[in-house]
Every structure is written in structure tokens, then in C-alpha cells.
Amino acid sequence: MNTSFRKFNFLSFFGLFLFSFFCVADVNAQQRSDSKATVQKFASLLQMINYYYVDSTNGAKLTEDAVIAMLKDLDPHSVYISKDEVQRANEPLQGNFEGVGIQFQIFRDTILVIAAVPGGPSDKLGIMAGDKIITINNEDAFGSKLTNSFVMERLRGAKGTKVKIEIFRRGTKGLIEYTIVRDKIPLNSIDATYMLTEDIGYIKLTRFARTSLSEVKESVTRLKSKGMKSLILDLRNNSGGFLDVAIDLSDEFLPSEKLIVYTQGLRSPRMDFKATSRGGFEKGKLIVMVNEGSASASEIVAGAIQDWDRGLVVGRRSFGKGLVQRPFELPDSSVVRLTTARYYTPSGRCIQKSYEEGIDDYYDDLTKRFEHGEFVSADSIRFPDSLKYYTPSRRVVYGGGGIMPDVFVPLDTTATSKYYTDILRKGLMNDFVIGYMEKNRDVLRSQYPDINTFRTGFTVDDKFLTEFTDFAATREVPTDQEGIEKSGSEIRHVLKGLIARNMFDVSAYFEVISPIDHELMRAVEVMHEDNLFRKLSIAM
């Protein structure tokens, strides 16, 4: 494949596609006539309503509602995005936004800084975790009026613009004033990168954004420098993103000329996407983790790795989204993301689940899977033989409803208690840790300068756990000894993980809680099963 295509501006491609689509349609006179009649019919109705309807109407809203209704009749993933929503919808996938660069939380009617984004404008000025923002541009920023929208509307803004804030910092007399010049703030798509063992690296990718490939490359390089020989790529609950990013990421693991995915639709000719010789981890054992929340781009990567026997897929059956959307801009700058093709894994599988029963039924599928017992037993899953495909090592794989893992890991409910559910639902562990960090941040930083010393040295002992359960009791979750015994290990690990996140970063949180992530621990066990990898002729 011409690799320069991958660098082609996809928005330009979409525009060319739209132009070509209408040129082709123009060839067929009957189609042209039908299309014209349909447009005239809709315009005539709007005109009748405008001139004759008994009450005043909003023509723009009527049109928008009609567009939304039309798309609902197509498929679950063709959607309309209003002009006002376009930027917000694209932001997580573009990899950045413009603002002051802090992670915050509303805590007791106050804006609490959880962390300043490294290298961002707030970080450069010395704003720190634990600071409380009291005013924004001379406006009080506390009390019952405080919401996430209130904060973002005032702190986000165009690059180069200024915002003045006053903060309260424990141990400092009076308020500290800062004038922050807004800038581009990166949105990382990797939540965690660390070494699980001496030779197994771990990367948790949460979305397929514009920056994802460079983030993964950087993570792989860093892990290799620490001795990584095998990699676990965690795509659990990764709902997808850009198709071309999924292709490029798959290329990191597959040798040259291997088909990664192909797309095809009624009016979209088949397009094959193949690997190049630029992969950064084409050798070494590889595991891709998926679950019912892994969709679209995640399934492209998992399917390519599985179909070429390059690695093992571990977890539970993925979501089952095999439709490709392309954005088309409408005259008012709103956007329609229209399904134009299906994608197929290298073996020819289309893993799109059925949506013939309607959108509500489509999204109820995960609830039905849970009720049928699929999350705890692979035996409840049935695939028809007509959807059976084979990998080069004669491994059987199936299409028609997600990627079925090679190693199934059931959902663990053994440590779940009502007590644990209640404290999670109310966010009490996070609230407790914020209060704890306000009092102990300086001492903790001096005792534990990095994640390694914290992970091995800090302990959530019985006294600490009791302090938390007493706190929870004051927040209407009475102490439940049976629940504490059942969920105690989880509570201790999560409390410690939240402290690590507050002291270091989100990666530290996942590193600390990894021992209670039984799905991840099962993946580590599988990684050590050399015979399984050899049996499937998988690269080691």
C-alpha cells in the first residue's frame, strides 16, 4: 500500500468522497429526479408550516429534528452534531484543548486543584495539587453556584488570552494571585504505562486520538529501556476513535504487507490497509485485553492481532461495532457522521452486531449479555458455523458480534459487597483522600519522592481503614463489618491508589491497584504460558 496515503488529510478525503458521491448520483437520471422530488417535498412542507401553521414555529429546530429522525432510521452510529457541539465532540479525539491546564474537582463547594498538567501554563506558574481556586477574574468561585460547567466556561478559552485567579494554599497567609495565559493543553489517550514484572510492560490506551500513536511509540520506547520483552496492551472500555490511528497502531505490531483491515460499502469500493516495515514491536509476546466496552478501533486492533496469530486476545467479548463513519459538514457548520462502509478483519470477519430490532434494542445488548450470564461464563455464548473463520494456525475465530477473546476472563464479583458499592456510588474514597492529602501532602512527598518508594513503603493499615470507615459513617454509609471483610482488600488498594494519583499521576493509580485487577493478573499468567503461544505459532 502507498504509505503516503496514511498521511493524507482525512477531512479532505471526506470532502472529495462527498463530491464523487454526488457526481456518480448525477449520472443516473432517475436517481436525480427522485432526489430532487424529495428535496422539494421537504422544502414545500416547511414553507406550508411557515405560512399557514396556527402558531409560530422555529424552522431551524424543525429541520434539525427531522435530520435527527432520519438518521435514527439508518443505523445506531450515524449521528447529527449541532454547530455548538462540534468542537466539544471532537475535542477528546483531537488530543488537546485550550485553557489553563489543571485537573480539578469540586470539593465542598470549592474548586480543588487535583493536578497541574505537566508543562502547561498553570504548572509553569507553580500552581500545585491541593490549591483551592477562590476567585476567577474577580468573581467569587465557590458556593452553591459552583458546577463543572461554571468552572470550564471561565477557565477554558482561546490560546493567548488571560485569566486572573486567586488561590488559597494551606500554610500560606492570604490569597495568592496568578494571571494565567491560556495555551494548548494536551489530552493524553494513555492512562498508564509501567512495568508489571521485570520483562512485561503494560500500556492502558483509553481512546484512539490524533496523538495516540506517538504516545504509544513513546511508551514502548520507555518500557523497552526498562527491559520489556513482552507487552500487555489494555483496550478494555476503549470505545474507539479514528480509523487511521487504529491502522497505524496495528502496524506497530505486524510485519510488512500484512492486511490490517479493509473497508467496503455499497458506494464505497473496497479499500485495503496493510502494515509497513515501521513497526516498533513486531517481535515479542503480545496480549491485547478487551471487554464489552471495547469497540470500533479497539476491535480493529484486536482483530488484526488475532487473525494473524500475532498475539492473544484476553478478556471478554467486545462490543461489536464494525461500521465506519465519515463526517460531512452541513451548510450551517453542523456535522453529520454518516456510516459509509463496514470494516472487515484480515480473515474477512465483519464483527458488527445486529441492529435490525432498533437502536434501543441495540444498546440494550450489553444488559442482555449480563442477564444471560455471558460476563461470567463463556459457555453462554453461541456463534453459528456460518460465521466461522480460521487464522493461519487454524485457530477458529468468529464474526458477527464482537471479538471473542482467545482466553476468556469472567467478571469478578467475589469481592463486591453492598458496603463497597455504596461507598463507590457516593465517591467517599475520593472525598476522604482529598481531605487526607490536605493535611499530609508535604509529609508524604518527603517520605515518598517517587512511585516506587510509595508503592513499596506506604500501607493502608487497620488504623487508616478505620479512619475511612468512620468517615463513611458520617456520610450516611454505616460501618458494615461483613462488607468490610469481603471488600477490604479492594478498599485498601483503591485508597492507596487514589493517594498515588494525587501525589504523582493517573498511571500511578493503575500501578497501585493492579494486584486487585484480576483480569490483568490473569493476562500476566497467560503471558507466562509459553506452550500456548508456541501452539498458535505466535511471535515470541
Q: Which residues contact 117 (CB under 8 A, 6 or more apart)?
A: 101, 102, 103, 123, 185, 186
| Separation between Cα atoms, residue 173 and residue 357, nearest integer Å | 64
Q: Domain 191-411: give its CATH code.
A: 3.90.226.10
Percentage of the chain lying above the pLDDT 90 cut: 56
What is the per-residue pLDDT for 332? 87
- Is the pLDDT higher at 359 or at 484? 484
Q: Are strands 286-290 and 312-315 parallel, antiparallel or unpaired?
A: parallel
What is the per-residue pLDDT for 537? 59
- Is the pLDDT higher at 120 or at 210? 210
Q: What are the boundaries of each domain within the chain?
A: 96-186, 191-411, 418-504
**Does residue 16 carry a pLDDT above 80?**
no
What is the per-residue pLDDT for 202? 98
Percentage of the chain lying above the pLDDT 70 cut: 92
User: What is the mean pLDDT of the segment spanning 382-392?
Assistant: 83
Contact 344, 263 (CB under 8 A): yes
What is the per-residue pLDDT for 531? 86
Residue 194: name the closest of 457, 507, 519 by CA.
Answer: 507
| pTM to 2 decimal places | 0.83
Residue found by looking up cell 482467545 in the block: 406
Q: Which residues contact 87 (CB under 8 A, 6 or more apart)?
A: none
523 SS3 class: helix
**Does residue 122 carry a pLDDT above 70?**
yes
Using pLDDT thresholds of 50, 70 and 90, give the confidence band for residue 10.
very low
What is the per-residue pLDDT for 1? 38
- Is the pLDDT higher at 189 or at 185? 189
**Does residue 532 carry a pLDDT above 90?**
no
Q: How far is CA 526 from the centre of its chain?
A: 25
What is the per-residue pLDDT for 448? 97
| Separation between Cα atoms, residue 255 and residue 286, nearest integer Å | 14
**Does residue 540 carry a pLDDT above 80?**
no
**Does residue 186 carry a pLDDT above 80?**
no
Residue 235: name the closest of 292, 309, 310, 304 by CA.
Answer: 292
| Separation between Cα atoms, residue 318 and residue 369, nearest integer Å | 11
What is the per-residue pLDDT for 83? 83
**Does residue 366 carry a pLDDT above 80?**
yes
The highest-level CATH class for domain 96-186 is: mainly beta
What is the per-residue pLDDT for 212? 95
- Is the pLDDT higher at 69 or at 186? 69
Report how far apart the first and last C-alpha atoms of the chain are (Å, whole number): 27
355 SS3 class: coil
**Does residue 385 carry a pLDDT above 80?**
no
473 SS3 class: helix
Virtual torsion, Cα 417, 422, 423, 426, nearest 10 deg: 160
- Is the pLDDT higher at 121 or at 107? 121
Encode burial over 9-19: b for 16+ CB neighbours within 10 A, e otherwise.
eeeeebeebbe
| Start-end of H helices in 28-120 | 29-52, 59-72, 83-94
In Å, the largest CA–CA distance within the chain is 80
**Does residue 13 carry a pLDDT above 60?**
no
Alpha-carbon Rg of the chain, whole angstroms? 26
Q: Which residues contact 329 (CB under 8 A, 6 or more apart)?
A: 335
Residue 300: name the closest of 229, 353, 352 by CA.
Answer: 352
User: What is the mean pLDDT of the segment spanning 356-367?
Assistant: 84
What is the per-residue pLDDT for 533? 83
Cross-strand partners of 344: 262
Using pLDDT thresholds of 50, 70 and 90, give the confidence band for residue 92.
low
User: What is the mean pLDDT of the segment spanning 40-66?
Assistant: 88
Q: How far is CA 41 from CA 37, 38, 456, 511, in A?
A: 6, 5, 71, 60
Q: Which residues contact 451 (CB under 8 A, 6 or more apart)?
A: 500, 504, 508, 511
List pLDDT tens digits, range 220-275. 999 999 999 999 999 999 999 999 999 999 999 999 999 999 999 999 999 999 99
**Does residue 357 carry a pLDDT above 60?**
yes
| Start-end of H helices in 83-184 | 83-94, 121-125, 148-155
Which of these ranges, 56-70, 115-129, 232-246, 500-514, has the smallest mean pLDDT?
115-129
User: Which set of grid coordinates corresponds to residue 25?
Assistant: 448520483
**Does residue 2 carry a pLDDT above 60?**
no
Q: Which residues are catalytic?
A: 296, 307, 321
**Does residue 141 carry a pLDDT above 60?**
yes
**Does residue 504 carry a pLDDT above 80?**
yes
Q: Which residues contact 98 (CB under 8 A, 6 or more apart)?
A: 156, 157, 158, 159, 182, 183, 184, 185
Residue found by looking up cell 409560530 in the block: 56
User: What is the mean pLDDT of the segment spanning 36-61?
Assistant: 87
User: What is the mean pLDDT of the segment spanning 490-499?
Assistant: 96
List pLDDT tens digits, range 415-432. 889 999 999 888 899 889
User: What is the mean pLDDT of the segment spanning 349-372?
Assistant: 87
What is the per-residue pLDDT for 510? 96
Residue type for position 390 = Y
Mean pLDDT of the chain: 87
How many CB atoms are located within 10 Å of the residue 235 CB? 29
Of 75-84, 178-187, 211-220, 375-384, the range with the highest mean pLDDT is 211-220
Which of these ranges, 9-23, 155-169, 193-207, 344-358, has the smallest mean pLDDT?
9-23
- Is the pLDDT higher at 376 or at 536? 376
Residue type for position 201 = G
Residue type for position 531 = N
Q: Which residues contact 137 (CB under 8 A, 6 or more apart)?
A: 154, 163, 164, 165
User: What is the mean pLDDT of the segment spanning 172-196?
Assistant: 90
